[in-house]
Amino acid sequence: MNISIVIVTHNRISPLCELLESIAKQSIKPFEIIIVNDAGEPVDIVQRLYSDLPIKVLHLTENVKHVKARNIGVKEASGDVIMLCDDDDFFTPCHMERMAKALETADFVYSDAEIVSFKEEEDTRIPKNRHLFAYTFDLEEMRKFSTYVPSGSMYKRSLHIEIGYFDPGVHNYWDWDFFLRAAEQFRVKRVPAASVIYAFSEQGDNQSSNLDGKRQYYLDVLSEKHQLGKLPTKNFFVLLEEPAMKKREAESKIVWDGEPVVSRLVRERQFS
């Protein structure tokens, strides 16, 4: 199994290095890591800092936004398995091994997560609050509320031959759309371990906490595409308080020790 990790980044070098630090500590190594720099500040430093990782950086001269950039990365991948990552999330050390094992009997696997808010101290994010995000996989319920966390999910690259790539037309909801399309034709499995540490900011500096009119527009586009009916905009944090979601809560293995990730970038700055 050759795992191609695809990361889209835009002006978040410190979190990106924390993600790469967590990948460097995995019990199995990726075949390649494709970083798509979506017309942001240079990130070439990561290839020097993490020279032990097979990193390839694609520099885009135009900011095409995250969905198109992710498609560019996936199309560049040559491994038979894709693992998606957001540049501000990270993983516990056995995440890749656990997911690869699960993929032996599935076509698409995703794990539970901990949703974490951070404060930054000396270029390192310190965890403030953490919430378990673990729900049963029920395709009919997934048509009402998506509990799919794309970061850390793995799937066979051949899926794209059958269902195409990520749809920029649904923008914020590209992951929900992709999940529904994949689940209609392929074997999907939830892995009950919260090995994805999903960064969330209530201040709105990431797209999951930024609820606005455009999100409702794109949700309506998604709903029409999959005939989901009228759905209100909700992000992961809001979902935690939904009564309907309380019924879907599932047991999950907590595997993160709660410690921050100190990257090689931070260590280099400390000793320079």
49-89 pLDDT per residue, tens: 999 999 999 999 999 999 999 999 999 999 999 999 999 99
> What percent of the chain shows pLDDT beyond 90?
85
Across the range 167-196, mean pLDDT stands at: 98
What is the chain's mean pLDDT, rounded?
A: 93
What is the 8-class DSSP label of residue 154?
E
What pLDDT digit, counting tens, does each position of 115-133 carry? 999 999 888 999 999 999 9
pLDDT at 210 over 90: no
Cβ-contact 74, 66 below 8 angstroms: no
Dihedral of the CA atoms 19, 80, 75, 5 (nearest 10)?
Answer: 0
Q: How confident is the model at residue 235 (pLDDT cuts 50, 70, 90)?
A: low
- Across-strand partners of 198? 115
What pLDDT digit, counting tens, does each position of 12-53 carry? 999 999 999 999 999 999 999 999 999 999 999 999 999 999
Domain holding 142, by residue range, is: 3-270
Q: How confident is the model at residue 169 (pLDDT cuts 50, 70, 90)?
A: very high
| Cα–Cα distances in angstroms (integers) from residue 142 to residues 71, 122, 196, 210, in the given order | 23, 40, 19, 22
CATH number of the domain to which 37 belongs: 3.90.550.10
Across the range 146-175, mean pLDDT stands at: 97
Residue 36: what residue type?
V
Q: Please state the domain count of the chain.
A: 1
Nearest to 81 by CA among 131, 22, 188, 154: 154
Nearest to 183 by CA among 214, 216, 147: 147
Q: What is the C-alpha to C-alpha distance for residues 2 and 126, in angstroms, rounded to an integer? A: 33
Q: Name the region of 34 (left: φ>0; alpha: ψ -120 to 50; beta: rest).
A: beta
Whole-model pTM?
0.93
Across the range 145-153, mean pLDDT stands at: 95
pLDDT at 208 over 80: no
Q: What is the C-alpha to C-alpha distance for residues 85 and 93, in angstroms, rounded to an integer? A: 15
Q: How confident is the model at residue 230 (pLDDT cuts 50, 70, 90)?
A: confident
Task: Give the model's pLDDT for residue 205.
Answer: 47
Cβ-contact 14, 263 below 8 angstroms: yes
What is the 8-class DSSP label of residue 249?
B
Cβ-contact 173, 219 below 8 angstroms: yes
pLDDT at 233 over 60: yes
Residue with tokens 């809001």: 238
